[in-house]
Structure 1
């Protein structure tokens, strides 16, 4: 495994994971901080979608308002690669959280695209869908 790919995966296992945990605890700030402000950006989400920085930012704040009390967030990366200043991850996100006050447990199948901007990885696209059962 290349050093560049390993460094990217370490970023995903730490900063990306921490940002996702924060949004599931009601704080969109860390997630917004790792997202690109350079167009195009997009989310094709399991619950909601958005295109453009303004819509994506509003979506993150809306999701954070609905989420609270995250007791578990795991991101199983199935495949990932870095090619120049672009990267991707695909895998499963397993979450236990309150959504609008109700306890929920769900698994998302998620693919994200990243670009390196000013030496930092930024998410520029997310696609996720809900699995009916945890068949992974």
Structure 2
């Protein structure tokens, strides 16, 4: 598989993220590995491992989003090997969150790891958090 093949998969992955902020996790689920070592760390809960837990976590997040706008992506870093690849991006979008009637801005720092499985690139890990600007060291202290 080439980097160009991965580029097409990343484009599909980005469109699946647009569906997430519209309240649809179906496309995203298709992008993720079905293997037991798949993991997800999203900004509204602890990291989970395993296909069932990943799908439940996606569904929980999607149930709290609606009427989102297309996401923009700022690529920070990327690497493509023979069977593993990653991207680090800042994702920015707007969506209605929870019961809110207005759109809220959402910015996430995201690392996504892909693995070549049976000739197809699949997401094996996604980590997203809201840290997109410098913060004081005190912000990591737990009270």
Under TM normalisation by the shorter chain, which class is it? 0.7 to 0.9
In 1, distance between residues paired with 2:39 and 2:132? 24
User: Are 1:113 and 1:124, in contact at CA under 8 Å, matched by a contact in 2?
Assistant: yes
User: Are 2:91 and 2:107, in contact at CA under 8 Å, matched by a contact in 1?
Assistant: yes
Which has more radius of gyration?
A: 2
User: Are 2:67 and 2:96, in contact at CA under 8 Å, matched by a contact in 1?
Assistant: yes
Aligned to 2:108: 108
Q: TM-score, normalised by structure 2?
A: 0.84
- Deviation above 3 Å: which 4+ runs of structure 1? none
Residues 60-79 of structure 1 correspond to what in structure 2 (within 5 A)? 60-79=58-77
Q: TM-score, normalised by structure 1?
A: 0.88
Residue from 24, 44, 51 that aligns with 1:27: 24
State the Cα RMSD in Å. Answer: 2.0
Structure 1 unaligned residues grouped into runs of 5+: none
Aligned to 2:127: 127
Residue from 19, 37, 58 that aligns with 2:56: 58
Residues 29-44 of structure 1 correspond to what in structure 2 (within 5 A)? 29-44=26-41
Structure 2 unaligned residues grouped into runs of 5+: 135-143
Give the secondary structure class of the aligned counterpart of 2:19: helix
